[in-house]
Structure 1
Amino acid sequence: MAPTAAKPRQVLVLLALHAGKIVSVPTLIEELWGDRPPLSVRTTLQTYILQLRRLIESAMPPEASGTAKDVLLTRFDGYVLDIDPDNVDVRAYESLIQVGNRAVEERDFEAASRFLGMALAKWHGQALVDVRIGMPLSIEVARLEESRLNALEARIGADIGLGRHQAVLSELTVLTARHPMHENLCAHYMVSLYRSGRQWQALQAFKTLRNTLNKELGVEPSVRLRNLQQAVLRSELDLELPEPVGAARRVGLG
């Protein structure tokens, strides 16, 4: 049902990301044209809404009650895509994230790894990669990409808590190279390397992070990371077993 034309596609995506909620006409105009809308901006927007309703109508089964106007509703100075939010991938993703995050808080690493992994499996490449992006959608993309990184970090932390340090090493090698100033990923990488019997590489990971922070920002790693470095130097981390809660907090992983 997705439209092939760029601007109607933008409208549909923005409405779908806010399924069940009003998206105002000014927001839609900003998305489509920024600060340079055409003179006939509202007429043009109404044309795109009409095109979307025709697509919706063609996709509706013959036995469906109502019309496309009952799916794509007109409201005061805005429009609503009246569909079940759970049928939108991003809502399903966010629901799984909530469950996974609660499991992390309860230190149920098995459940956290499973639900966060299910959430991350909803992703196929970058967010909205096949859609032209205006300012409102760019904000949504930034939010989703940050959420994805946080979920990935939390899922890896849960896997480490389950003793799967070797299984996450290759993933962390890529992630720390892609995000060279991300302290949480570096901490996960250091612990995984150390528990895999690669103490010197864990220390090298800290050194790389420190050099990058010094060069780019003129700052030192946090006390949390420095404490972790000292724990690795003193061989305080268990190589095989998941850390108890107290130890995880002491080295800054809890």
Structure 2
Amino acid sequence: MEFKVLGPIQVANERLAYTPSAPKVKQVLALLVMRANQIVTLESIIDELWGDHAPRTAVTTAQTYIYQLRKDFVVELGEECGERIIVTARPGYVLSVPEGSLDVHNFERLADRAHACSTAGDAEGTARWTQAALRVWRGSPLADIPCGRVLQDYVSNLQEKRVSTQELSVRAAMDLERYRDLITELRSLVMEYPFNEWFHTQLVRVLNKAGRRVEALHAYQEARVLLRDELGLGPSHELRRAQQEVLGSAP
């Protein structure tokens, strides 16, 4: 059994995949998955679903969502699912799953290997493990769920870890002087994270290293205009320094 949250939420076994259709049932499942093998209190479920505007029937309704999940697990994934996976544990419930069944844990394990290689000065290993970690992702975390304030904290944290791993991957590739290979990747990253100046800076640098000075200056100007028009900011010292590196690289 696999539980996937790095993209649209999904529960799958070797035969088929299941995703709840009701939005709030999805939210409950997501909260259980993000706290797998830990007690998720009924209070946390209610906070996620309704925040400060919980109805009088919140407890009963939340328990109904748990019942619906158990029922769906049995119908969609087999009799062995249900009570065995979602366990009642006062004051709430536990999603009881084996190690390695959550994509988020697999991502974190691979990212940890990449960081260990980076600390050891192993650029090849860092590049290999960061790419393996990033391949686990299928899109934005919990992409098909209207997250409440509890899940939103998890989503923000996962996004930060993903950006950190992407930055580590770029650093490793630059250490290995794979400049041309990085151009397409960095162009995609600056589109995905338009206000991340570090990615803009590296794009300017790799274009320059690849001998594409005009494109490097154009990338700098695009970043400068974006920061000015959208945020009212000038380019950072590092971004300006990357531009000077391009101008200083003329014969």
TM-score in terms of structure 1 length: 0.80
Q: Which residue of 2 aligns with 1:98?
A: 112
Task: Give RMSD over aligned pairs.
Answer: 2.4
Partner of 1:52: 69
Could you tell me how far 1:160 is from its partner in structure 2?
2.2
Q: Rate the CA distance shift 1:105–1:235 in 2: closer, same or farther, 3 A.
A: farther
Q: 1:47 to 1:61 in 2, by over 3 A?
A: closer
Mark the CA change 1:30 to 1:99 in structure 2 (over 3 Å): closer, same or farther: same
Structure 1 unaligned regions, length at least 5? 237-254
Percentage identity across paired residues of the two chains: 34
Q: Which amino acid aligns with 2:134?
A: L
> What is the CA–CA distance in structure 2 between the aligned matches of 1:5 and 1:208, rounded to whole Å?
42
- Per-residue deviation, residues 88-126 of structure 1 (Å, max 9, x unmatched): 111111111111122223332211111111111111122
How many residue pairs get aligned? The number is: 233
Cα drift, residue 128 of structure 1: 1.5
Instruction: Name the residue aligned to 1:10.
Output: 27
For 2:95 and 2:126, locate their aligned partners in 1 and report how far apart those are by CA, in whole Å: 32
Q: CA deviation at 1:176?
A: 1.9
Q: Does 1:190 align with 2:204?
A: yes
Q: Which of 169, 178, 181 does residue 155 from structure 1 map onto?
A: 169
Q: Which structure 2 residue ranges, 5 or more long, are not aligned?
A: 1-17
Q: Cα offset for 1:78?
A: 2.1
Q: Secondary structure at the match of 2:179?
A: coil
TM-score, length of structure 2 as denominator length: 0.81
Instruction: Indicate the larger mover: 15-24 or 214-223.
Output: 214-223
Q: Does 1:131 align with 2:145?
A: yes
Q: Counterpart in 1 of 2:9?
A: none
| 1:72 pairs with 2:89 | no
Answering whether residue 35 of structure 2 is matched by residue 35 of structure 1, we say no
Aligned to 1:241: none
Taking CA–CA contacts closer than 8 Å with sequence separation of 6 or more, which of the two structures ends up with the larger relative contact order?
A: 2
- Cα distance in 1 for partners of 2:19, 2:197 equals 40
Higher alpha-carbon Rg: 1
Q: Which residue of 2 aligns with 1:111?
A: 125
Q: Which amino acid aligns with 2:243?
A: Q
1:61 deviates by: 6.5
8 Å Cα contact 1:113-1:155 kept in structure 2: yes
Distance 1:51 1:177 in 2: 40
- The 1-side partners of 2:149 and 2:94 are apart by 19
Distance between the aligned counterparts of 1:127 and 1:59, measured in 2?
23
Letter of the 1:54 partner, please give it.
K
Q: Secondary structure at the match of 1:19?
A: coil
